Structure 1
Amino acid sequence: MSEEMNQVEVRNFEVGDRIKGQVTKVEEKQVIVNIEASKLDGIIPISELSSIHVEKANDVVAEGDELDLEVTKVEEDALILSKRKVDAEKAWDELEKKFVSGEVFEAEIKDVVKGGLVVDLGVRGFVPASLVEARFVEDFTDYKGRTLTFKIVELDKEKNRLILSHRAVIEEEKGKHKLDLLQTLHAGQVLDGTVQRITDFGAFVDIGGIDGLVHISQLSHEHVEKPSDVVEEGQKVRVKVLSVDRDNERISLSIKETLPGPWASIGEKAPKGSVLTGVVKRLVSYGAFVELYPGVEGLVHISQISHKHIATPHEVLKEGQEVQVKVLEVNEQDQRLSLSIKELEEKESEFPTDYELPEESKGFQLGEMIGDQLKNLKK
C-alpha cells in the first residue's frame, strides 16, 4: 500500500479506538500487527505488551496471535497500539469481583523483586514477602515460574494498586481444617504429634494442623522439673487426648498416658524373694513406704522393720534413708508390694549380752577358784 493510502487509512482511527489485530512479526522491542478489516499495520511497543516488565516481546506474544488492542497514538502513516490497556480494563472488572467475593485463584509468579513477588493478572499484582507464606522465607529465588493460590487483600484501581496474599489462603485452609479436626477429636484418642513449642508449664504439640497442650504433669510418670528436660521442639511424640473444648478451641493431651506405667512388669523387675535397694519416702505409724523405682513404692510393715520390738518406725528409720529390702509379695494389678528389712538382718543372740553374774558370785576371783581346785587334787 502506498504511503498516501496509508495516511488515508490512518485518518480513519482515533486515540482510544478498540481494534483487533493479528501478529505478523515479533521483534525484540516491538510487535507488528495487521489491523483487522484494513491493510494497515500497527506497532505495539514492548512497554505496551504487558502490565509487568518484559525483557523480550516473544515472552508475551507469537506470530499469528489475535489481539485486542487500543489505539494510543495516530502517526502520519502508522498506528501505535497497546495490548496492556485493554488487558488491564478487562482485568480490573474481574479482579473487583474476586476481591468482593474473596475468591481464591491461581496465578504464576512472573518475577521476584525486592520485597516480594510480581504476578501478571492483566494488571500488575504484588505479593509482599510477608504475605507469601505463613512462615519466614529467606530467599524467594526459586519461586519464579511457580503457580500459587492467592486472594486479593487490597485493590485500588485509581492508584493502580493490587496486593495479593498466598498466606491468607494457607491460613484460611488451616482454619477450616482446624474446625474439621475439632469436630472429630474425642477424649481417649491416641495420636502422633510433633512438639511445636515448650513453655514453663508444658509443651504444645501439633496433632495435624491444630495444637494441644501437654501439661507438665502429663509429660512423664516421673516428676518433671522443666518440660525441656524430657521433650524438645520438633520431637515426634505419641499423645492421648484427655479433653476437647470446642468452644475455646483447647485440647488437653498426655504423653504420660501413652507410656508404660511404672508398675508395668513390676513382677519381673521386683520378683518375690529378690533383694533391692530403695529409699524411705514416708514413715507412718504402721510402717515405712520405700521407693524402689520412680513411681513404685512398697510397704515395709512395722513388724518387718526390725527383729527388735519397736513402737514406731521413726525409732530406726528416717525419710530419705537408703535401705535394702527383700520382696515378700508382689501384686501388679493392685499395685502393691510387701517388703521386709528384718529378713536381711541377722537375728540377735538368744542370750542377752548384758547378762550379769549372781550377787553371791560377785567378788570371786579366778585365781582363788583355781587354787581351791589344786588343793582338792593334793588331798
Structure 2
Amino acid sequence: MEGEFAKLLEDSFRRLKQEVITGTVVKVTDREAFIDFGWKSEGVVSLKELGYKPKVGEKIDVCVVEPETEEGYALLSVNCARSIKEWERIASEIEKKGIVKGRIRQRVRGGYKVQLEDGLTVFLPMSQVDIMPVTKPDDWLDKEIEAKVLSVDRKRRSIVISRRRLLEEKRAKMRKETLKRLKEGDVVEGTVKNVVDFGIFVDVDGVDGLVHKSD
C-alpha cells in the first residue's frame, strides 16, 4: 500500500515537472516566495530567480523542480515555466506554418538534430533527409535546409521534421504542371537519372521519361 502511494506521488510529480502550474503567493521573505500550488505542501521559489518581490495573493506561473526539499517544501522554478511557455508559443507557430528552415547541427541516433531559425532544436530522421538514401551522413552536417513539420509532441516537447516529404510534394506539384504543359513533339531538356541496358531514364521537371537505346 505504501509502495503504491509512493508510485502515485512519483507519477504525479513527473506530470507536474512537465507542466506550467499557476500558484498563489502565500508568504514572502527577503529571499523567497512561498506558493500554494495545490500540492501536499507549499512550494518555494527564490526572489533572485523571480526578479522582483511579489505580493501575497499574487498568481505566479511555476513548474516543480524537486517535489520536497529537506525543509519540507517543493522547489519551484519560474524560469522553467517561462521556458515551457516559450516552447509552446514557438511550437504553435511552427505547427501553423507547416514549413521550417534550419541548420543541421548534430548527428544523433536515427537522424540529426536541426536548429531552427528561432533557436528551437528539432529532430530530422535519417530516412526523411532526402528522396534518395543518405550514403554519407557527415556531409549533411552544418547544411541549411527547408523541411515540413511531421509531428509536434507537446507532452515530450518534441518536433519531428521531414525534408524528404517537402521535396516529394514539390516534385509532385512540378510533375503535375509539367504534364499539363508537355505536348507531343516538344523539344525539352532533362537530367539523366539512370542508365540501363535498354536506354536511359531522364528527369524532365519532375517527370521520368525513357529514351530507348534505339533512339
Please give the alpha-carbon distance, in whole angstroms, between the structure 2 residues aligned to 1:210 and 1:170. 14
Q: Post-superposition shift, 1:131?
A: 0.6
Label 1:83 to 1:202 Cα distance change in 2 as closer, same or farther (>3 A).
farther
Q: Percent identity?
A: 25
Q: Deviations over 1:298-349 (max 9, x none)?
A: xxxxxxxxxxxxxxxxxxxxxxxxxxxxxxxxxxxxxxxxxxxxxxxxxxxx
From 135, 138, 152, give the equivalent of 2:135: 138
- Residue of structure 2 in register with 1:114 after alignment: 109
Q: 1:103 and 2:98 equivalent?
A: yes
Please give the alpha-carbon distance, in whole angstroms, between the structure 2 residues aligned to 1:133 and 1:71. 39
Label 1:12 to 1:83 Cα distance change in 2 as closer, same or farther (>3 A).
closer
Q: Post-superposition shift, 1:202?
A: 4.6
Residue type matched to 1:118 in 2? K
Q: Which is bigger in relative contact order (C-alpha 8 A, separation at least 6)? A: 2
- Residue of structure 2 in register with 1:300 after alignment: none
Please give the alpha-carbon distance, in whole angstroms, between the structure 2 residues aligned to 1:96 and 1:112. 26
From 11, 20, 33, give the equivalent of 2:32: 11
Alignment check: 8 A CA contact 2:50 2:78 kept: no
Please give the alpha-carbon distance, in whole angstroms, between the structure 2 residues aligned to 1:73 and 1:114. 28
Alignment check: 8 A CA contact 2:192 2:203 kept: yes
Q: Deviations over 1:346-377 (max 9, x none)?
A: xxxxxxxxxxxxxxxxxxxxxxxxxxxxxxxx
Aligned residues: 165
Please give the alpha-carbon distance, in whole angstroms, between the structure 1 residues aligned to 2:32 and 2:49. 16
Please give the alpha-carbon distance, in whole angstroms, between the structure 2 residues aligned to 1:191 and 1:124. 42
Structure 1: stretches of 5+ with no match in the other structure? 1-6, 20-32, 39-68, 221-255, 257-379
Residue type matched to 1:135 in 2? M
From 182, 195, 199, give the equivalent of 2:179: 182
Greater helix share, structure number: 2
Q: Deviations over 1:187-223 (max 9, x none)?
A: 2111222332345665321123321123x4xx33xxx
- Residue of structure 2 in register with 1:356 after alignment: none
Please give the alpha-carbon distance, in whole angstroms, between the structure 1 residues aligned to 2:93 and 2:32. 38
Which runs of structure 2 are paired with 1:299-338 in the superposition (5 Å)? Answer: none
Alignment check: 8 A CA contact 1:105 1:150 kept: yes
Q: Post-superposition shift, 1:128?
A: 0.9
Tell me the C-alpha RMSD between the 2 structures: 3.7
Alignment check: 8 A CA contact 2:32 2:44 kept: no
Please give the alpha-carbon distance, in whole angstroms, between the structure 2 residues aligned to 1:84 and 1:12. 16
- Residue of structure 2 in register with 1:194 after alignment: 191
Q: Secondary structure at the match of 2:148?
A: strand
Q: Deviations over 1:54-104 (max 9, x none)?
A: xxxxxxxxxxxxxxx95645989xx874645533333335435644x5721
Label 1:118 to 1:70 Cα distance change in 2 as closer, same or farther (>3 A).
farther
- Residue of structure 2 in register with 1:252 after alignment: none
Q: TM-score, normalised by structure 1?
A: 0.36
- Residue of structure 2 in register with 1:321 after alignment: none
Which runs of structure 2 are paired with 1:1-379 in the superposition (5 Å)? Answer: 8-14=29-35, 15=43, 35-38=50-53, 70=62, 72-73=64-65, 81=77, 83=79, 85-96=81-92, 98-99=94-95, 103-120=98-115, 124-198=121-195, 202-214=199-211, 216=212, 219-220=213-214, 256=215
Q: Post-superposition shift, 1:117?
A: 0.7
Q: TM-score, normalised by structure 2?
A: 0.58
Q: Post-superposition shift, 1:35?
A: 4.2
Label 1:160 to 1:141 Cα distance change in 2 as closer, same or farther (>3 A).
same
Please give the alpha-carbon distance, in whole angstroms, between the structure 2 residues aligned to 1:185 and 1:94. 43
Label 1:96 to 1:129 Cα distance change in 2 as closer, same or farther (>3 A).
same
Q: Deviations over 1:95-130 (max 9, x none)?
A: 35644x572111233322232111356765211111
Residue type matched to 1:205 in 2? V
